[in-house]
Homo-oligomer: A and B are copies of this chain.
């Protein structure tokens, strides 16, 4: 059996940094921030990121190649993610709206494809930047 929720040393270090951050972090910026803790190579970061994503602890913002902590306790499996992204200040906010998520999840493609998961990214200007 896989260890239930225990994080490995590197996973914990990477998660801590991402959770403390105000916005999305890039892999190499994480790397630079943890070199004092003895992590030296991109591989170590990417491996931790992969696992954290699998566990639903973080999400990747695909349009930015950046990573944010998951704030909505109910998406452990990360199969329905939605974000709002400010095109000016780059702020990212996770949207957890049950209705929206349910609506999209129940969408069925004509061509017979069954969806396991979706990712939705909204773009605009946040309150501040407007």
What residues make up the interface of A, taking CB atoms closer than 8 Å to B? 62-63, 84, 86-87, 93, 95, 97, 100, 103-104, 107, 109, 111-127, 130
Given contacts A117-B122, A119-B121, contact A84 B111 (CB under 8 A): yes
Copies of the polypeptide in the assembly:
2
The reply to whether A118 and B123 contact each other, CB–CB distance below 8 Å, is yes
Given contacts A62-B62, A130-B114, contact A109 B84 (CB under 8 A): yes
Residues of B within 8 A of A127 (CB): 111-113
The reply to whether A93 and B109 contact each other, CB–CB distance below 8 Å, is yes
The reply to whether A120 and B119 contact each other, CB–CB distance below 8 Å, is yes
The reply to whether B120 and A118 contact each other, CB–CB distance below 8 Å, is yes
Q: Kindly report which residue of chain B lies nearest to residue A107, judged by CB atoms.
A: B100
